[in-house]
Every structure is written in structure tokens, then in C-alpha cells.
Amino acid sequence: MARHGSAILTHHISLLPMNVNLTTWLLILRMIVSGGHYIPPALLHCRPSELPMPMLNGATATESANAICLSGLTPRETEVLEMLASGQPNKIIAGKLNLSEHTVKLHIHRIIGKLGVTNRTEAAIWYHRIRGA
């Protein structure tokens, strides 16, 4: 990454990892095919273990956090995605996070773009698949 990092980031080159579970690998491949961009967090010095993710449906905290980190979501976008995936409307999300509804809509728009999905329902499905991976 030190040698070719700037070229990889400039040209939006994706790197498909071979050391992740099949579900994660397929999700990454789907994201890349949909026009997304992926670089393994180890190369970006991302620390998914620092994200607060409990174990859920057999997935380890690191696997879940790793997949979310790989998606490029910010910590705030991750919070919004968690609440969105639990079925909460924008108004409730805005109130709980002390944001305007417009800001929540912007976060959801960015989440949808980063995940390579087409709507909030698909984003919620993506989240539940990752958490249950």
C-alpha cells in the first residue's frame, strides 16, 4: 500500500481479499460489481475491533465490524444504519441522534451509495446479513 496506495485510491481500484468468510467475500464482490470500491482495512489501517459491535447470530464482533468498516461508513453513518435496520423512521432517528430529519436523509443517501444498494430496505437487509454472517 505504501508503494501503490495513491494510485489505488486515485483510480478507485478495488482489492478482493481471499482471507474472509464466503458471505463477506460475496458481499464485497457484489459491491465491487455494483460500482463500489473496496480496499481491505488492514491496508488502510482501519481498526474494526474498536467499533462497538456485539456478537449477533454467530458472527464475531470483528467480522461484523470488519464488514461495516470495509463499506467505508463513518461512525455516524453506522449509527444511522443500525437504527434504520431496526425499522425506525427518519424522524425517530433524528430525535435520538439530535439531528435534523434532513441530515438523517443525507446520511441514508450516503449509506445507500456506499453499500451499493438501491434503497433503505436493501441497506437494512445488508446490515442484517453482515451482522448475521
Q: What is the CATH number of the domain that holds 105?
A: 1.10.10.10
Instruction: Identify whether 50 is part of a domain.
Output: yes
CA atoms of 54 and 42, how far apart (whole Å): 21
Task: Give residue 105's pLDDT.
Answer: 95
The verdict on residue 49 lying in a domain is: yes
Q: Is the pLDDT of residue 46 over 80?
A: no
Alpha carbon 78 to its chain centroid, in Å, reads: 7
Q: State residue 5's pLDDT score.
A: 61
> Has residue 12 been placed in a domain?
no
CA 126 to chain centre: 9
Residue 93 lies in a domain: yes
**Does 8 map to a domain?**
no
Residue 51 DSSP class: S
DSSP output for 23-57: HHHHHHHHHHHTT-----HHHHT--GGGS----BT
∠ CA 105-108-112, rounded to 5°: 140
Highest average pLDDT, of 40-44, 51-55, 86-90, comes from 86-90
* Average pLDDT value for residue range 118-122: 90
Residues 11-39: pLDDT tens digits?
A: 667 777 777 778 878 888 887 787 777 77
Cell of residue 113, nine digits: 451509495
Query: How many separate domains does the chain show?
Result: 1
> How do residues 95-105 score in pLDDT, each as one tens digit?
999 999 999 99
Residue 76, domain extent: 20-131
Residue 126 within any structural domain of the chain: yes
Report the pLDDT value the prediction gives residue 51, as an integer from 0 to 100: 37
Neighbour tally for 39: CB within 10 Å: 19
Q: For residue 56, is it within any domain?
A: yes
Q: What is the pTM of this model?
A: 0.53
